[in-house]
Amino acid sequence: MLTRIIYRFGIMSLFFPLVVLADQDNFVLRHANENNLLTLQHALEIALAENPGLSRVGAQAQALAEVSSQVGALPDPVLFLNALNLPTDTYSLSQEAMTQMQVGIGVTLPFPGKLGLREQAADFEAKTAEFGVDETRLVLTRNVRMTWWNLFFLDRAIVIVKRNQNLLRDLIKIAQAKYKTGQGMQSDILTAQVELSKLLEAEISLHATRNGQVAVLNTLLGQPATTRVVLPDLTDESLPEAPDFASLHDMALKARPLLLAQRAQLEAAHTKVTLAEKDYYPDFKLGAVYGFRSGLNPNGSQRADMASFTFSMNLPFFLENKQNHALLQRKAEASKEQFGLQERTTQVDGEIEQALGDYRASYEQALLFKTGIIPQASQTEAAMLAAYQVDKVDFLNLLRAQVTLYNYETQYWKVLSSGWQAWARLEAAVGMPIKKIAQQDTTGRTVKEKSNE
């Protein structure tokens, strides 16, 4: 476009050095970025490996996975060491026949089924934690993708604003040349300079925003906030067609970790209800004690040692104040988890619907910009330029056409980035990758097919 402007005004030799410098800048920028580029896939790999939040949740899940075997095991046996019936006047072990030194062991046996239920409940809670790790990983992936695409848009916007700054500088020189020959007005120069200042301010704002997004991305990647981030300057511009809500809903019910975790939590609550019902039955304690005796019987024989066996059980006596209320508590907790599942399902449906609506809007807008608005605005700008050359259009209209084209190009990259961000939200909402169907233009051909013609 810049070359076309210069040729049409017949001053190619005047502006050729500027064209060369602009091309060199673009060349240097492209080739400087060929090394150490942070692609989206690479960013995801770093985040999943280095993000401390994900590691923390993973460690917590690992800890909970070790609980079930503990609660499912029998209580540790108890060792008894007793000194029985010692006479307090002499503390002799042989003075009295009743004196014994005892050693024994005792075990507690929960009512059959209780240990299995406790282990089952702990297993469900461990699964809840595992699904929580999957959900955290899903959210992290979504946030990395959204931030990466936002950075990609900012990079494209910076390139566009710099390119338009160069175009405006050339237009200012052209307006100055026409003004000197009496064919233009000084107001044209001033107006173009104001627009150039606006673009300079826009570039400052874009760079500031980019710095903030780089810090956000680096935090997600688990690396220092000041780490330099350079993205590739090319991407696939074809957004896939929008899927339907029903299929996404079915996918979410099967794959969304948030829902799977809630179901596991509900199963744990039901298991605890059954366990509370088992608490109406007693636990048992068994013991065996061997007593050593010293001294002699009246007939001169050695006193025989003693063996004792014990059996005891707790009596669920205060049912009204304890077991009944414990059962009601567990039932209420199960009811809470059931309502929680309904709430989570509604929440996921809302996330899908919102992301799907945003994606459809971005999909249609990107297609409209690509196939309609930008080509039309480009043609308008070219027509304005030709008309300005023969003084049929004033400089203000030419400038307005150029600014309009700049705005549309920026908006195109914005909606394209927003589309991929919405797609990332969609996949996070359903909990799994969504099959991509190639985008089609207004003629029904895919973008790839159209580009190959």
The answer to whether residue 269 scores a pLDDT higher than 70 is yes
Rounded mean pLDDT of 278-296? 92
Most confident by average pLDDT, 20-24, 170-174, 299-303: 299-303
Summarize pLDDT for 347-363 with one digit per residue, the tens.
999 999 999 999 999 98
Q: What percent of the chain has a predicted confidence (pLDDT) above 70? A: 85
The residue with greater pLDDT, 45 or 399, is 45
Computed over every residue of the chain, the mean pLDDT equals: 83
Q: What is the pLDDT of residues 314-352, one digit of tens each?
A: 988 888 888 999 999 999 999 999 999 999 999 999 999
- pLDDT of 15 reads 30
410 close to 360: Cβ distance less than 8 angstroms? no
Length of the chain: 453
Say what the pLDDT of residue 437 is.
74
What per-residue confidence (pLDDT) applies to 402?
A: 78
Instruction: Name the token pair of 257.
Output: 């970790």
Residue 249: per-residue pLDDT: 93
pLDDT tens digit sequence for 109-154: 999 999 999 999 999 999 999 999 999 999 999 999 999 999 999 9
* Residues near 65 by beta carbon (within 8 Å), at least 6 away in sequence: 126, 129, 130
Residue appearing with tokens 């307006």: 175
Give residue 421's pLDDT: 93
Element of type H or E holding 106: strand 100-109
Distance CA 69, CA 120 (A): 10
157: its two tokens: 């916007």
pLDDT at position 35 is 55
Residue 286, classed as helix, strand or coil, is strand
pLDDT at 179: 65
Helix 395-430, helix 374-389: angle, nearest 10: 170
Alpha carbon separation from 161 to 87, 156, 200, 359 (Å, rounded)? 102, 9, 8, 26
User: For 415-427, what is the mean pLDDT?
Assistant: 93
Q: Which of 25-29, 87-91, 184-188, 384-388 has the lowest mean pLDDT?
A: 25-29
Q: How many CB atoms lie within 10 A of CB 304?
A: 10
pLDDT, position 29:
36
CA distance 161 to 170: 14
For 108, phi then psi, to 5°, come to -105, 130
408 vs 375: CA distance, rounded Å: 10
Burial of 220 (0-12, 13-18, 19+ CB in 10 A): buried
CA–CA dist 164, 380 (Å, integer): 16
pLDDT at position 296:
87
Count CB-CB contacts under 10 A for residue 57: 20
At residue 248, the pLDDT reads: 92
CA distances from 142 to 262, 271, 419, 429, 437 (A): 21, 34, 13, 9, 20
Task: Give me the pLDDT at residue 435, please.
Answer: 85
Q: Return the amino acid letter for 109.
A: L
Q: Over the range 324-352, which residues count as b (16 or more CB within 10 Å of their CB) and which as e? A: eebbeebbebbeebeeebeebbeebbebb
What are the tens digits of pLDDT across the range 217-268? 999 999 998 889 999 887 777 888 888 999 999 999 999 999 999 999 999 9
Dihedral angle computed from the Cα positions of residues 415, 421, 422 and 423, in that order, rounded to the nearest 10 degrees:
110
Question: Phi/psi at 307 (nearest 5 deg)?
Answer: -120, 135
| Residue 329 phi, psi dihedral angles, 5° rounding | -60, -45
Model confidence at 32: pLDDT above 50: no
pLDDT at 354: 94
